[in-house]
Amino acid sequence: MTPTFSAIASFSGPGEAGGLSSPSRRRQGTGTVGTHSPASTPPATGRTGPVAADPITLAVIQAGWTSAAEEMFAVLRKTAMSPIIHEVLDVGTGVTDGDGNLVGSGAGIPSFVGVLDKAVRRILEIHDSFGPGGVRDGDVFITNDPTYGGVTHLNDVVVAEPVFHAGVRIAWVASIGHWSDIGGMTPGSMSVAAREIYQEGVRLPAVRLFDAGRPVTPVFDIIAANSRLPAFASGDLWAQIAAGRRAAAQLRQMAATYGLDAYNAALDALFDRSERQARSGLRALPQGDYAIEEEQDDGAIWRARITIGTEAFRVDLRDNPKQRAAPHNTSRDGAVIASQMLFKALTGPSLPTTQASFRPLDVITEPGTVFHAEDPAPHGFYFETRIRLYDMLWRCLARAFPERLPAGHFGTIGGTVVAGVHPETGRSYTMVEPQMGGWGATANRDGLDCMYSTSHGDTFNCPVEICEARYGLDVAWKRMNSRSAGGAGQGRHSGGRGLTICYRPRGQATVAVGFSRHRLPVWGLAGGHDGGTNGLTVIRSNGDREDYGFASDLVVAAGDSLVIRTANGGGWGSPSNRAG
């Protein structure tokens, strides 16, 4: 039995060795990654200690990192092929320092912000263990596997590239995107029947895609051969490569303009400032020890204990169910990200996010549990597990200080995958769409109507006009839920409205969906009523109705209707106190 695992979220604690790593890849116990003291930084960055660069120059360099990450995002959006990347923007882009500490991130979704640094650090562990020259200029790496730094599930592919200046590794540029199909036992790759990760698609274990500038063509070939949509896989891959190139060029130019000393001084100053911002946000929170126990739709009981002190924000997730031979597990990294999102929301949501933003955060997990799953656990629907974890941690603190946090939101990604053959073009299609729902009311106002989940961000729904043209299905209607009396989520301030959307396939299609809060409703706060539930109802052409929370390999035909309903958010305060 592995001992209990505890580490600072930035992985700076010496106790991190063990845990996640697969037996064949030994983690290096550097104990320094994520700290900003020049003395403790590995020599790869070539730092020479504090430099007297003026604050204006430092600010200019710092703006460059953000701009590089944002540009990667823009390129990815314009060039990708999977609609879930270019339309839904289920992507993340980031710049780290030479050691994998996050310095800037682009738009996209918040739950991806904390992925890329972890991926880069894992790549470094695997490849720099070969000694100096292990990671070279012109290398590009690819990973999608939670055991190899992929964090999430096999559909999310990370492409990461080191950036060198004058022989020194000054940065990494990395992106993650949800590919429509990565192989596995069902179209879209996410099957509720998966018992092992091997059933969820091709595993890319942090391997080289380019070797010192030369493409490793067999890897490209393996990827294309393992996807049901090889043109999409190839298009998405090149989009991510191009995005990295754009950012890398900017960073190299920046280092050339300002020199390494100023560049490194700007890094130190940035980490220092974001740590101070985080600590200042932390000190503004009510200190205390808060615990929660919550039943899930499947009857499992989850538990968390959050301890807020002046110097640390600790999330203890040890007392939780064992990992399952079902695709509802998350890697420890995933659990850390759920905690990071809440910590960020509480300590300064609109401020820039870097590695140091999370220094006061401490997440404790138990290997072999659902929040620290080990190989070969399947992860296909990890995102539902993670959003419910975030929701539970949020609920834990919302009860403690209801003035600061909204009531629960609809609490699901609502991933909806429909695959088939387009009746007009004869080509295969795969729709992968999250769903929008209601957000919880706050102490000051009603909840937001029809937004994407907290795991999403600058995520766009697919226009009906594009959906009908691109896929072999029609959208019969899309309506917001009622806010009238009797609707879910009533309160002094009412929860925002969810929606119903009706898809009608024009030919046979295979469907997979995942809806949390299908049985147990969204939570109200401070006396507000609970919100609603989420789910899919299939109405067959003969009038039969079937209801689903999680499903895959569900076959539908022309004439059937897929009616998806998403929950209203929770209410805040007693409805009897509602104004007007």
Which helix H or strand E contains 478, and what residues bound it?
strand 473-480
Select from 70-78, 138-146, 302-310, 524-532 the region that touches other proteins (CB under 8 A).
70-78
Q: Which stretches does DSSP call E strand in 166-308?
A: 168-178, 207-211, 214-215, 288-295, 301-308
Select from 245-253, 525-533, 542-550, 553-561 the region that touches other proteins (CB under 8 A).
245-253
Select from 163-171, 271-279, 541-549, 556-564 the region that touches other proteins (CB under 8 A).
271-279
Distance from C-alpha of 168 to C-alpha of 177, rounded to nearest angstrom: 28
Distance from C-alpha of 254 to C-alpha of 243, rounded to nearest angstrom: 17
Kindly state the number of chain residues that form the binding site for other proteins, as judged by CB under 8 A: 74
CA angle (538 as vertex; 535, 542 as ends), nearest 5: 155
Residues 327-346 that bind other proteins (CB under 8 A): 341, 344-345
Give residues with Cβ within 8 angstroms of 542, minimum separation 6. none
Among 1, 39, 52, 56, binds other proteins (CB under 8 A): 56
Q: Is residue 442 within the footprint of other proteins (CB under 8 A)?
A: yes
Among 1, 52, 299, 350, binds other proteins (CB under 8 A): 350
Distance from C-alpha of 418 to C-alpha of 511, rounded to nearest angstrom: 5
Tokens of 361: 């955060």
Distances in whole angstroms, Cα of residue 16 to Cα of each of 26, 49, 275, 386, 544 = 12, 27, 21, 21, 53
Q: Is residue 465 within the footprint of other proteins (CB under 8 A)?
A: yes
Q: Is residue 71 within the footprint of other proteins (CB under 8 A)?
A: yes
Tokens of 200: 């969820």
Select from 16-24, 297-305, 323-331, 454-462 the region that touches other proteins (CB under 8 A).
454-462
Residues 404-433 that bind other proteins (CB under 8 A): 405-406, 424
Decide whether 122 or 456 has the Cβ nearer to other proteins: 456
Provide, rounded to whole angstroms, the least separation between the CB of residue 196 and other proteins.
31
Displacement of CA 504 from its chain's centroid (Å):
30
Provide, rounded to whole angstroms, the least separation between the CB of residue 307 and other proteins.
21
Q: How would you list the strands of the sheet with 535-539, edge to edge? A: 473-480, 499-505, 561-565, 535-539, 545-548
Provide, rounded to whole angstroms, the least separation between the CB of residue 238 and other proteins.
5
Residues 524-553 that bind other proteins (CB under 8 A): none
Residues 96-115 that bind other proteins (CB under 8 A): 107-110
Provide, rounded to whole angstroms, the least separation between the CB of residue 163 and other proteins.
15
Write down the residue that tokens 């063990």 correspond to: 18
Provide, rounded to whole angstroms, the least separation between the CB of residue 367 and other proteins.
28
Provide, rounded to whole angstroms, the least separation between the CB of residue 426 and other proteins.
12
77 three-class SS: helix
Provide, rounded to whole angstroms, the least separation between the CB of residue 409 and other proteins.
9
Residues 124-153 that bind other proteins (CB under 8 A): none
Residues 374-393 that bind other proteins (CB under 8 A): none
Among 3, 14, 50, 349, binds other proteins (CB under 8 A): 349
Among 499, 526, 556, 563, binds other proteins (CB under 8 A): 499
- Helical packing angle, 332-347 and 230-283, nearest 10°: 50
Q: Is residue 246 within the footprint of other proteins (CB under 8 A)?
A: yes
Do 29 and 16 meet the contact criterion of CB atoms below 8 Å apart? Answer: yes
Among the listed residues 28, 246, 37, the one whose alpha carbon sits nearest the alpha carbon of residue 128: 28
Distances in whole angstroms, Cα of residue 290 to Cα of each of 279, 281, 346, 401 = 19, 18, 15, 11
Among the listed residues 266, 221, 186, the one whose alpha carbon sits nearest the alpha carbon of residue 432: 186
Select from 19-27, 82-90, 123-131, 366-374 the region that touches other proteins (CB under 8 A).
82-90
Q: Is residue 276 within the footprint of other proteins (CB under 8 A)?
A: yes
Residues found in the chain = 580
Q: Is residue 478 within the footprint of other proteins (CB under 8 A)?
A: yes
Among 138, 288, 463, 559, binds other proteins (CB under 8 A): 463
Q: Mask 200-239, x = binds other proteins (CB under 8 A)?
A: -------------------------------xx-xx--x-
